[in-house]
Structure 1
Amino acid sequence: MSQPSTILIADDDNGIRTVLTQALGRKGYEVRTTGHAATLWSWVAAGEGDLVITDVVMPDESGLDLIPRIKKIRPDLRIIVMSAQSTLLTAVKAAERGAFEYLPKPFDLGELVGVVERAFATPQTPATGAGRDADDERLPLIGRSPAMQEIYRTLARLINTDLTVTITGESGTGKELVARALHDYGKRRNGPFVAINMAAIPRELIESELFGHEKGAFTGANARALGRFEQAEGGTLFLDEIGDMPPDAQTRLLRVLQEGEYTRVGGRTAMRANVRIIAATHRDLSQLIRQGLFREDLFYRLNVVPIRLPPLRERVEDIAELVQHFLDQAMEEGLPPKTIDPAGMAALSRHRWPGNVRELENLVRRLAALYNQEVLGLEEIEGELAAATPPPPPTRGGEGEGLGDLVERNLRDYFSSHGNSLPPPGLYDRVLREIERPLITLTLEATRGNQIRAAQVLGLNRNTLRKKIRDLDISVVRGAR
């Protein structure tokens, strides 16, 4: 019978050591624990242990600093890093120094056990080393919420690859920041980072912007021009608002992704594309595919690794840290120091933030610039939030708000959330779908699931109603009320 695997745990929190010992012991592992990096190092140097779990902050040495020393003498020993610091830099440092996995504290115990089992089952691959200087503590992304922790872990896994990434999220969530982090901490960091916004370039010029053009390729082409692919040679090309790319350009981009080469507009010589592609959009590409506005084959080429950025309303626990970051930035730019009291911070946490982090940043900068007092409270916060929120449309005839008024108010909010950009195509169908589903569902409930009566109430053909029930994925429960 084979000996059980031994796990070495280093954490200065006795409670965590006890919990992990019990959980991993129940799985049949031998567990040894310590609260000091020096003890862990002595065990590893003596050849003990089959896997290491280490905290970052310990009394005598950082667990991150210990990893390179361990890898030097025992390169195949898998290391799992735990940390309450929970930043992107912590995740990146752990990955670049050779950690198998990074887990933020507090962690799910079942997840940690799963990571341990996966570590024993996965062949070890050597760390390639990448990223900025490990001592560079500038934070490209802010937040310690569970949603952001998952993004940090994903980014840490991707920095040493050239995999194509598609970043989705509402306007103002920080899609370009994520793209820059992938570049700045990756193996192409010494190359250029080139961004192009598909929504900001006239459709007829997009191919020339991407691939360049030869002299005389079209009217006004008086000289050869380099495209973004050439400008990004050896680095990263960030295709922002990819959902706005016209069909012809989509076809050419697909060919580049498939064959790894392109030609300038009006040119004949094929050129190799040595760039990493990162795409981003606030639009629903699946919906655009159904509408025939986006190529499905291009979507799968771009969406090798999807990253969804949560809207700020889904990570309200990050608001205080974001506010402090923006206040610190304002002070570095010469504005006087400011703080926000608990009542003001609570008001910020209650706000819906249709403009996401960008809206919060603008608000904080406005507060820092316009108010003399050092401590800002509920009155100032609510005043600025009210000033930045468009008023609801007036009700008609002095009566209560009707269905049309409610729809109009929500559509105004929807258009406001897009700032200066227009919503994606297909708005008419999306609005109808939002209204149709509850209308048909409630009518079926009122008729106790009788589709003939429901069709009569709605004024629809019975076959049309059946098709809508199927297309909208509506559950029909007979006899319900």
Structure 2
Amino acid sequence: MGQKILLVEDDASIATVITAALEEEGFAVDRTESIVGRDRLLAQHRYAAMLTDVVLEDGDGIASLDPARTDNPDLPIIVLSAQNTLDTAVRATDIAAFEYFPKPFDLDELVHAVKQAARQSGVLNTPDASEQDGGLPLVGRSQAMQGVYRMITRVLRNDLTVLVLGESGTGKELVAEAIHQLGHRKSGPFIAVNAAAIPHELIESELFGHEKGAFTGAVSQAIGKFEQANGGTLFLDEIGDMPLEAQTRLLRALQSGAIRRVGGRQEIATDVRIVAATNRDLEPMIAAGRFREDLYYRLNVVPITLPPLRERRDDIPALVNHFLAQAAAEGLARHKIDDDALARLSRFGWPGNVRELKNAVYRLALMARNEEIDSETVLSVLGEPREATPVNAESGFATVLGDWLRSTELPSGTLYHAAVAEIERPLFEHVLSQTGGNQVQAARILGINRNTLRKRLTDLAIDPDTCGD
């Protein structure tokens, strides 16, 4: 008989599929639909791993785990959940879950995780559960966001450097805040620095501080952001806009764990967790000599890519209701929104991403005359939906892009990235179709690194094999 696995799942169809897949791999599976059944089986048998749903017929599959953990402290637990929020992912981390799978999940990935858990059975320990944070900053249950949540939970108990990638307005600072608020440094400070907003000649002083008299205007000593963030998290936003001279000093600080104030001689040890972010593609900047390659590798230890809003449209209703509640809490009138209005908002292109959506919802909350916002109100306040223009190689990229630009209202600072996103998918699909799905040839034709192409294909959910059909 193979190793025994306990499956706690009240959806019979899901339980049947998982059981069949695990038994095919040689595992013996015990199934139960309830917490009572789980505790009874755990008292009778020793399992190599347990898979558990969160919402069960008689309670919360995570909240009720204390007794199971007491009797089986080394039991690897894999959490399954249709409650696909960041809160659920964090709760799975808090009980030291071996892995967390949002539903629907990839069955092969799940089986692989069970195999790993079974091999390592008996080596996991349970950390202290952290307090639940009801004010988690990220909203959305789409498949696109599930990967983000899973990556966040993987870095909460360590100090690995994180590089958050994504277009302007996607919520990169919210990811940094979540890593800080939910991680083991949450009692320390969270300090954010926007490299694009600081004059180049002042950025080193901003980061590392300066001594009195270090330069004209330095009339007193100043403590930099590294020292202010000591014991906590330093968020370096728009890292791609940092001048090369400051990049060199930043790299030295990251390598040594110490900084020196501008005009100072003393090395000052710092203890900070670094989360950086950019809306730029850093690899071409490295090739052009505008970003240090060694700094890139130092920052890009754990990359987290935030999807643009157009790739997570299923989250728009939840985001709209979230922002309406926020607007009411900040003094605007309290409103509801009907399904037709949500459908209209979901058809917008949102080149400014979540930030643009938030501003639009606040505008609706200000301008709406009735308690419930309907489709006509959205039309009168925001105009017609600006849907993405379909692009194909035969129509001519330049012509279609020109038409799209003429029909699209864009907030300041987003034009380049919105235009690139509009044309990138059909461009990749066309080139891959011409190369029969060969990524090496496609990268050569495009003039980009193959790793860059592979990453963008993953981000855009493009299957190169289907492009070559």
Q: Determine whether 1:261 maps to 2:258.
A: yes
Q: Determine whether 1:382 maps to 2:382.
A: no
Q: Determine whether 1:99 maps to 2:92.
A: no
Q: Determine whether 1:331 maps to 2:328.
A: yes
1:321 Cα offset (Å)? 0.8
Cα deviation 1:173-219 (Å, max 9, x = unaligned): 00000000000000000000000000000000000000001111111
- 3-state DSSP class of the match of 1:33? strand
Q: What is the CA–CA distance in structure 2 between the aligned matches of 1:4 and 1:469, rounded to whole Å?
A: 51
Q: Residue 18 of structure 2 aligns to which amino acid in structure 1?
A: L
Q: What is the CA–CA distance in structure 2 between the aligned matches of 1:348 and 1:207, rounded to whole Å?
A: 43
Residue in 2 aligned with 1:368? 365
Residue in 2 aligned with 1:20? 18
Q: Determine whether 1:34 maps to 2:32.
A: yes
RMSD between superposed Cα atoms in Å: 3.1
Q: 1:307 aligns with which of 299, 304, 307?
A: 304
Q: What is the CA–CA distance in structure 1 between the aligned matches of 2:319 and 2:170, rounded to whole Å?
A: 12
What does residue range 25-104 of structure 1 map to in structure 2 within 5 Å?
25-104=23-102
1:46 Cα offset (Å)? 3.4
- 3-state DSSP class of the match of 1:179? helix
8 Å CA contact 2:351, 2:414 repeated in 1:
no
Q: Determine whether 1:209 maps to 2:206.
A: yes
Q: Residue 236 of structure 1 aligns to which amino acid in structure 2?
A: T
Q: What is the CA–CA distance in structure 1 between the aligned matches of 2:48 and 2:400, rounded to whole Å?
A: 62
1:412 Cα offset (Å)? 6.9
8 Å CA contact 2:164, 2:172 repeated in 1:
yes
Q: Residue 287 of structure 1 aligns to which amino acid in structure 2?
A: P
Residues 226 and 106 of structure 1, relative CA distance in 2, 3 Å threshold: same
1:386 Cα offset (Å)? 2.8
Q: 2:412 aligns with which of 419, 424, 432?
A: 419
Q: What is the CA–CA distance in structure 2 between the aligned matches of 1:146 and 1:274, rounded to whole Å?
A: 35
Q: 2:273 aligns with which of 271, 276, 291?
A: 276
Residue in 2 aligned with 1:192? 189
Q: Residue 36 of structure 2 aligns to which amino acid in structure 1?
A: A
Taking only the aligned residue pairs, the percentage that are identical comes to 51
Q: What is the CA–CA distance in structure 2 between the aligned matches of 1:403 and 1:171, rounded to whole Å?
A: 23
* Count of matched residue pairs: 427
Residue in 1 aligned with 2:236? 239
Residue in 2 aligned with 1:248? 245
Residue in 2 aligned with 1:158? 155
Q: Residue 295 of structure 1 aligns to which amino acid in structure 2?
A: R
1:422 Cα offset (Å)? 8.4
8 Å CA contact 2:345, 2:385 repeated in 1:
no
Residues 331 and 195 of structure 1, relative CA distance in 2, 3 Å threshold: same
Q: 2:174 aligns with which of 167, 173, 177?
A: 177
Residue in 2 aligned with 1:321? 318
- Unaligned residue ranges in structure 1 (runs of 5+): 390-400, 446-467, 474-481
Q: What is the CA–CA distance in structure 2 between the aligned matches of 1:215 and 1:69, rounded to whole Å?
A: 59
Cα deviation 1:456-479 (Å, max 9, x = unaligned): xxxxxxxxxxxx958479xxxxxx
> More displaced, 208-217 or 3-12?
3-12
TM-score by length of 1: 0.81
Residues 230 and 413 of structure 1, relative CA distance in 2, 3 Å threshold: farther
Q: Residue 376 of structure 1 aligns to which amino acid in structure 2?
A: I
Cα deviation 1:266-290 (Å, max 9, x = unaligned): 1111111200000001111112112
Q: Determine whether 1:224 maps to 2:216.
A: no
- Unaligned residue ranges in structure 2 (runs of 5+): 387-394, 435-443, 450-469
Q: Determine whether 1:290 maps to 2:287.
A: yes
Q: Determine whether 1:345 maps to 2:342.
A: yes
Residues 409 and 223 of structure 1, relative CA distance in 2, 3 Å threshold: farther
Q: What is the CA–CA distance in structure 2 between the aligned matches of 1:402 and 1:313, rounded to whole Å?
A: 22
Residues 344 and 252 of structure 1, relative CA distance in 2, 3 Å threshold: same
8 Å CA contact 1:211, 1:226 repeated in 2:
yes
Q: What is the CA–CA distance in structure 2 between the aligned matches of 1:402 and 1:91, rounded to whole Å?
A: 44
8 Å CA contact 1:241, 1:281 repeated in 2:
yes
Q: Residue 223 of structure 2 aligns to which amino acid in structure 1?
A: L
8 Å CA contact 2:189, 2:233 repeated in 1:
yes
- 3-state DSSP class of the match of 1:44? helix
> More displaced, 101-110 or 267-276?
101-110
Q: What is the CA–CA distance in structure 2 between the aligned matches of 1:169 and 1:122, rounded to whole Å?
A: 35
Residues 328 and 250 of structure 1, relative CA distance in 2, 3 Å threshold: same
Residues 403 and 96 of structure 1, relative CA distance in 2, 3 Å threshold: closer
Cα deviation 1:432-479 (Å, max 9, x = unaligned): x99xx89x99xxx9xxxxxxxxxxxxxxxxxxxxxx958479xxxxxx
- 3-state DSSP class of the match of 1:82? strand
TM-score by length of 2: 0.83
Cα deviation 1:365-413 (Å, max 9, x = unaligned): 1111111122323322233333897xxxxxxxxxxx9998766565678
- 3-state DSSP class of the match of 1:53? strand
1:262 Cα offset (Å)? 1.4
Residue in 1 aligned with 2:144? 147
- 3-state DSSP class of the match of 2:59? coil
1:35 Cα offset (Å)? 1.2
Q: Residue 125 of structure 2 aligns to which amino acid in structure 1?
A: P
1:126 Cα offset (Å)? 2.4
8 Å CA contact 1:217, 1:265 repeated in 2:
yes
8 Å CA contact 2:195, 2:238 repeated in 1:
yes
